[in-house]
């Protein structure tokens, strides 16, 4: 097992390529991993939201983790999502993904069930107590409809329950509160990662340890370059690279909002881009997402071209 602490750098949430009949396309998945590793990323996060974890069966989830950890062979850390509604179900996923070789698990607040800060804390404590690997909290209000309170996260970090936070809330002010709180309290072994692909430079400038950008599937080199510019203190260069990536991210809106939701559009665009770039064999997304049409895919191609990607 690879030590994941401290987590830092660019850790893409790895897309899950599917075959036309919606099975996991392992060869494409491994080519995608190679593409990311060649781009210089510092870790991998499988079974996240951009991985369509919510759409994968338990069998498919296991296959993804086994395939990726075996292929990576410890060269870089592999985190795995254990995305489910409540503690008992999450614990089953933790057991499954760690048996399959994951070096850390990423866990959201409870969802579907109505929750409460006291129950969120209880959830993470129970998961961490049973997990053989470090636990990273995943703050994603758009999916779970709860924002992880900064004070809850900091208390859990101080108590050694959490090894990190992946913040996909888009709320930089709250993110900063965790970053400075962890520093101010001298909490060690706790990493703060942003999941917002459009403000990675701001998050790193504010003290983040790293980023988990879905768009890094499409352009890992860009995010690694952005990370390096930030680390070297070249903030003007970082801003320019971030703005290029923001423009590229525009691809998530290629679809007609009367025809599908924003998730179908975004994941469809990422996969279309990976297909156009020759990384994966088939751009299919899981059911019940609506597929992109040809003109929408063509628009994805224009975003790639405008960003200098072919």
Report if residue 282 touches a second copy, rule: CB under 8 A.
no
Report if residue 302 touches a second copy, rule: CB under 8 A.
no
Report if residue 21 touches a second copy, rule: CB under 8 A.
no
Give the shortest CB-34-to-a second copy separation in angstroms: 26
Report if residue 185 touches a second copy, rule: CB under 8 A.
no
Which member of 113, 186, 294, 295 binds a second copy (CB under 8 A)?
Answer: 113
Cβ burial 119-144 (10 Å sphere, 16+ → b, else e) = ebbebbbbbbeebebbbbbbbbbebb
Which member of 20, 38, 74, 92 binds a second copy (CB under 8 A)?
Answer: 92
Which range touches a second copy (CB under 8 A), out of 68-76, 170-178, 215-223, 294-302?
170-178
Do 211 and 238 touch, CB atoms closer than 8 A?
Answer: no
How distant, in Å, are the alpha carbons of 22, 65, 113, 114, 249 from that of 56? 9, 12, 21, 24, 24
Report if residue 98 touches a second copy, rule: CB under 8 A.
no
Token digits of residue 163: 């090894």
- Which lies closer to a second copy via its Cβ, residue 2 or residue 289? 289
Which member of 189, 262, 278, 308 binds a second copy (CB under 8 A)?
Answer: 262
Report if residue 153 touches a second copy, rule: CB under 8 A.
no
Which range touches a second copy (CB under 8 A), out of 27-35, 174-182, 214-222, 274-282?
174-182
H or E segment to which residue 296 belongs: helix 294-306
Give the shortest CB-76-to-a second copy separation in angstroms: 27
Report if residue 231 touches a second copy, rule: CB under 8 A.
no
Report if residue 290 touches a second copy, rule: CB under 8 A.
yes
- Interstrand relation of 164-167 and 210-211 (parallel, antiparallel or unpaired): unpaired
Cβ burial 256-286 (10 Å sphere, 16+ → b, else e) = eeeebeebbbbbbbbbbbbbbbebbbbbbbb
Contacts for 186 with CB less than 8 Å, ≥ 6 apart: none
State how far the Cα of 237 lies from the Cα of 225, in Å rounded to an integer. 10
State how far the Cα of 281 lies from the Cα of 42, in Å rounded to an integer. 25
Which range touches a second copy (CB under 8 A), out of 38-46, 159-167, 219-227, 257-265?
257-265
Which member of 43, 196, 213, 219 binds a second copy (CB under 8 A)?
Answer: 196
> What is the per-residue binding string for a second copy in 34-73, x denoting contact by CB under 8 A?
---------------x----xxxxx-x-------------
Q: Measure CA of the first residue to CA of the last residue in the chain; give whole Å.
A: 36
Nearest to 85 by CA among 119, 111, 116: 111
Nearest to 225 by CA among 239, 238, 208, 215: 238
Give the binding site for a second copy (CB under 8 A): 22, 49, 54-58, 60, 83, 85-89, 91-92, 110-116, 118-120, 122-123, 126, 142-145, 170-173, 176-177, 180, 196, 198-199, 201-202, 205-207, 233, 235, 239, 243, 246-247, 258-264, 286-290
């Amino acid at each position: 097992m690879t030590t994941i602490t401290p987590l830092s750098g660019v850790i893409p949430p790895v897309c899950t390529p599917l075959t036309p009949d919606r099975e996991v396309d392992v060869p494409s998945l491994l080519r995608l991993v190679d593409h990311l590793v060649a781009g210089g990323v510092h870790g991998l996060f499988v079974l996240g939201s951009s991985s369509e974890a919510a759409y994968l069966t338990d069998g498919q989830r296991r296959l993804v983790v086994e395939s990726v950890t075996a292929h990576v062979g410890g060269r870089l850390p592999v985190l795995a999502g254990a995305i489910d509604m409540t503690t008992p179900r999450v614990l089953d996923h933790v057991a499954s993904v760690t048996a399959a070789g994951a070096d850390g698990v990423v866990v959201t607040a409870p969802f579907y069930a109505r929750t409460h800060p006291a129950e969120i804390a209880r959830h993470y404590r129970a998961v961490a107590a049973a997990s053989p690997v470090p636990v990273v909290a995943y703050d994603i209000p758009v999916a779970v409809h709860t924002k992880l309170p900064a004070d809850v996260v900091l208390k859990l970090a101080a108590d050694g329950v959490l090894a990190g936070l992946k913040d996909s809330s888009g709320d930089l002010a709250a993110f900063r509160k965790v970053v400075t709180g962890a520093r101010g309290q001298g909490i060690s072994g706790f990493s703060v990662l942003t999941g917002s692909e459009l403000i990675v430079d701001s998050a790193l400038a504010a003290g983040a340890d790293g980023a988990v950008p879905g768009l890094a599937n499409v352009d890992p080199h860009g995010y690694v370059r952005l990370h390096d510019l930030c680390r070297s203190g070249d903030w003007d260069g970082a801003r320019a690279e971030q703005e290029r990536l923001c423009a590229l991210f525009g691809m998530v809106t290629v679809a007609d909002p009367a025809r599908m939701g924003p998730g179908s559009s975004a994941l469809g665009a990422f996969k279309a881009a990976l297909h156009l770039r020759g990384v994966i064999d088939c751009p299919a997304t899981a059911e019940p997402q609506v597929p992109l049409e040809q003109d929408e895919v063509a628009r994805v191609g224009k975003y790639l071209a405008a960003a200098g990607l072919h």
